Amino acid sequence: MDAEREAREERERQRRRRPVSLLAAVLHEYLYHDNPHDACQPPGWLAVTVWALKLYPGKPTPEEVTAALAELGGDTFRRDCLEKDRIGANERSA
């Protein structure tokens, strides 16, 4: 478990060092730091969410969200968010 957590944290450190688009940065903040449980939501849902919460200027398309998620690591990024959420939930209940 510690090895998995360290691998996830290392991927996160590497992601932070790479320049990304504004939409990718918004999605990273929203998913990884604020709402990791939403990482399984479809791109259209995420597009409407960042628009409705006024986190991004304008309303991105689902295709733009898909591209931004790919910048962040795609499914690996989403799994890391969900794993972070699961670990946090376990720590809060302990």
Going from N- to C-terminal start, the domains of the chain cover 2-93
**pLDDT range class, residue 90, cuts 50, 70, 90:** low
The average pLDDT across 19-41 equals 93
pLDDT at 26: 96
The average pLDDT across 9-24 equals 78
C-alpha to C-alpha distance for 11 and 46, rounded to whole angstroms: 22
Q: With beta carbons less than 8 A apart as the criterion, state whether 88 and 46 touch.
A: no
The average pLDDT across 52-58 equals 96
Position 68 pLDDT exceeds 80:
yes
What is the residue whose two structure tokens read 């898909």?
A: 66
Position 17 pLDDT exceeds 90:
no
C-alpha to C-alpha distance for 43 and 31, rounded to whole angstroms: 12
Q: Which amino acid is located at 52 in the chain? A: A
Average pLDDT taken over every residue of the chain: 87
pLDDT at 58: 93
The average pLDDT across 47-51 equals 98
